[in-house]
Structure 1
Amino acid sequence: MYDFKMTARLRTNIMKQRPIFEQKNFSFRREEKEGYISVRSTNLPRLQELFLNRTTQNILKKCNGSNTVEQIIRIISDMYPDIQRQVIANDVVKNLSVLSRFQLIEWKERNPFMKKLCVAFEGNKEFELLDEGDIREIITFIKANTKNVRFLNVMSRFEPYYDELFIRDVLFNFTEDFFAVRENGEIKGIATLKYTTNLDSTVCSLGLLIAQAGYEESLLTGIVEYSGGTCNRAMVKIKVQLPEKDCDAKAEFIENLQTHGFIKENISLGEFQGGNVCNYCFFYEKEGSKAC
């Protein structure tokens, strides 16, 4: 049985939300064996077929814009009386997460899987979780601050962060979150957290950190104190991967990581282009850290 480990924030927010499914969200639909159907998303045409089982199809049928998630769980539970209610609840939320990621359902009020966070701290500074409405501002800042890149994940390339479609995709697929530090409303630094598409994973990775002088520390403070409250899954740790050959040049950045509670967990041998990778990790003390 798959156990979808929701954070307390998601568990609270999602139950009163009303998902909406419309046939127009399928650009393609075909009956398959054993009650499965294969479909394609109208909104994400580059994706290959998705295979939906009977349970997922039953959930979709109840996403009419009137039923809340709580009501859908109750309806599906009545259809499968021999299965524990919590198992049904986990399965419904897991399915809604996947269906949202592939834009097969919409939400009447707001998508509960799209997080929002804005925290005032350190005078006029704010630590904020950015969303699709901030994409152009994200790109403008990144293009204007290429000389201020403090960190880039070893598995990432910088150029895609210039691309609006790339940023939109990772936001809607819930594979990368963008955080910013603002001062007097102006972005001074951006950091991202990358999530694996494996819903069992409880580890996220620092993707990009780009900051003007004096704002790297504020970004790291925001990440360790508040990012746990935005995760839909119960994250255990944040991983920062640095090629061992670059560690001397990154000594100041590593010192800043350690000041903010990151520890050197291990060295992965031959992990990247034949070279070793040093893994620095921050462990969330409890679910959600300082959830907001």
Structure 2
Amino acid sequence: MRKKHPFILCSLLLSYFYADAQTLEQVTTNGNTTTKSISISNEQGLSIGVDAATGYTIKSHFIRPFNATYRTLRFDCSTVDANGGWEFYNSGINTSLMYIKQGGNIGIGTTTPQAKLEVNGDIKSSNGIFRALTGTLPNDIMMSYGYNTTVGDYTSLKVAGAATNTAELRLVQNGNVGIGTQNPQSKLAVNGTITATRVRVTQSGWADFVFQDGYPLPSLTETEAFIKKNKRLPDMPSEEQVKANGVDVADTQAKLLQKIEELTLHLIELNNKVTAQQQLLAEQSKEIKRLKK
């Protein structure tokens, strides 16, 4: 009976190891769970559900903490194939949702992104789209909608050439556009010089009323008295008004034309007087010559 003890002990050990192996096998075959780590290490990686006909599979070259310090999770994709990449696909509607090409370009709504990010569709952002200044780079661009809620909803486009983060071109919510100014008070406010080959200003009224019958043409004597007293022409803004409010181009052009037309009427009147005097002198000269005979 004593000789049977080693045999029985060996049988029990084999049964234990077999049971343990069966437990790990059951994890993959029956969906059981285990607290033990399962490690698969080979050059082929891990494949789940490989279908030779369709190619549908979950295959991992490796998914691991990439950096031991920061514990970054890394998903690796081979770049041997120039057309390879990562794709998030909805098979229910046969649509590619997001595609990451092997070169790093990301496409949303497109599988052929030509830039680092290409979106085929609208982009919505609750806090705007912002590109902040990075030192003294001259090519930084900021575009935002409703970025500063304390000011109000606005869209601003900035091409930075300075170290300050201020919008050079701004479109505010009431439709005003500012260039070189942060607070445009009109439809277009420009803090600087405007160069154009032609400027067209629409005007509802013009100064042709000066030539209408009954227009109260001020006399030169009245105009002279006004100039001596006010140091400006009648109906024209003063220097103080221009400094405070600027110059209304359309209104000023109309008033200048009014003064030119008034001056033209005075010149016509003066010319008529000179012509009449010349005729009178000519007649008087003839009469003098006749009396001398």
| TM-score bracket for this pair, using the shorter chain length | under 0.3
RCO (CA 8 Å, sep 6+): is it higher in 1 or 2? 1
Greater C-alpha radius of gyration: 2
Q: TM-score, normalised by structure 2?
A: 0.17
Q: TM-score, normalised by structure 1?
A: 0.17
Q: In proportion to residue count, which structure has more strand?
A: 1
Q: In proportion to residue count, which structure has more helix?
A: 1
